[in-house]
Amino acid sequence: MTDATDNGVSKGWLHGRGEPSLSDVFRSIPVRNQGNWFRRALAFIGPGYLVSVGYMDPGNWATSIAGGASFGYTLLVVALMSNIMAIILQSLCARLAVGTGRDLAQACRDAFPRPVSFILWIFAEVAIIATDIAEVVGTAIGLNLLFGIPLELGVIITALDVFLVLLLQRLGFRYVEAFIVGLLGVIFACFFVQIALADPEWGAVIRGFAPTTEIVRNPDMLYLALGIIGATVMPHNLYLHSGIVQTRAFGKSDAEKRQALTFATLDSTVALMLALLVNASILILAAATFHKAGHVNVGDLTQAHGMLEPLVGSLLAPKLFAIALLCCGLSSTVTATLAGQIVMEGFLQFRLPAWLRRLITRMVAIVPAALVTLYYGAEGTGMLLILSQVILAFQLPFAIVPLVMFTRDRAKMGPLASPGWLTAVSAVIAAIIIALNVKLLWDVAASL
């Protein structure tokens, strides 16, 4: 009998698993199967934090700022609900990786006929490009706010992170993770200070995490709530997580796989709860400053940055806002680049030199971003961000549905197949997110 992680064709798969994606770091981090529980868990800390970056990227900032400015703390409960959905779906990614030895791209390639997997690859590549464009534009805005660098030049500068990823990965994947965790630490510190300066009403903050029927009764509030949930799960995170979990050299026995799944799920759950703190902090900051002062129509990042100083009464607040935005942009571009590599290698088994592969991925995103900023300026970057979110909304079902299908299939997953309750919950979450994204596409089409 061929194991699900063998290279041969096993039951449930049309094709055998080929060479893994990110082969230069595949199973490169040793895992202790015995000894102290904490030391074993420590080996799995890292991938979840790379994934969490996608839930606090520049594309999510505008939604949180608009929600806080318009309705104060009320939509905090929506941020909490959407985060719980993300935790469950990312746990499926870890389950797929540990149970089959495949990332989501490889699983699609090996489970579906070639024409189907090719179409899914096209959708995935378009989603990666759209994600990368949003991160590039966000980083450029951060550079502009912090150093006054023109947006056009800032877009070009973001290409340098390709070589940063190469350097860090050459040193070892732990260095990539340490770099991202370091940036996340800066982001948390920036928002901690900004929240302290804004001095929110903590009683209202706590009440904001409680469900309220007002969200459903108020059409404007409902629209923003749907936007927060619909923009939570990004396709590239599903491919990314299922790939980087396999940098850990966990064992092949059922017991070792179960242990690996437990620690990987714990890692992503804790990391995504920290991402919730960042998203909640953005919304709280907007509520405590813009909403409190009566500025209820704030959604542009540059506009929000410019309004912080007079409202908070400190030069430090807008500086910290810009630093956090830049760190979010930098970390997001790094993880989007890794996701692009996983998608290309997983679907196509297409091997290029690491520097060339990452440069091609980044150039495909930078060229349209640079052209738009040159032609339209700052207004064009806003249009580009909106377009990128619409593209992501269209691609999302083609990543979520296969993920739920694969992880429930005992022939593919063996003893690590999702239990019935988890499959049911995941299917409901997928249906909700898909429905919300369909609504987004409908609204955009209706506004044209």
C-alpha to C-alpha distances, 341 to 54, 299, 374, 413, 444, nearest whole angstrom: 16, 32, 28, 24, 30
Tell me the C-alpha distance between 339 and 232, whole Å: 17
Structure tokens at 35: 């000894």
Q: Can you give the pLDDT at residue 377?
A: 65
Reported residue count of the chain is 448
Three-state SS string over 275-324 comes to: HHHHHHHHHHHHHHHHHCCCCCCCCCHHHHHHHHHHHHCCCHHHHHHHHH
The pTM is what? 0.89
CB atoms closer than 10 angstroms to residue 96 = 27
Tell me the C-alpha distance between 101 and 94, whole Å: 10
With CA atoms as reference, report the closest residue to 446 among 223, 295, 280, 270. 223
Residues 79 and 279: beta-carbon distance below 8 Å = yes
Q: Can you give the pLDDT at residue 214?
A: 85
Residue 377 neighbours by CB under 8 Å, 6+ apart: 151
CB atoms closer than 10 angstroms to residue 161 = 22
Tell me the C-alpha distance between 236 and 249, whole Å: 23
Tell me the C-alpha distance between 434 and 429, whole Å: 8
Structure tokens at 345: 């290698």
Tell me the C-alpha distance between 125 and 130, whole Å: 9
Residue appearing with tokens 């015995």: 34
* Low-confidence spans in the chain with pLDDT less than 70: 1-10, 34-35, 230-231, 299, 351, 354, 357-358, 361-362, 364-365, 369, 372-374, 376-387, 389-390, 440, 444, 447-448
Q: Can you give the pLDDT at residue 128?
A: 82
Q: Can you give the pLDDT at residue 354?
A: 64
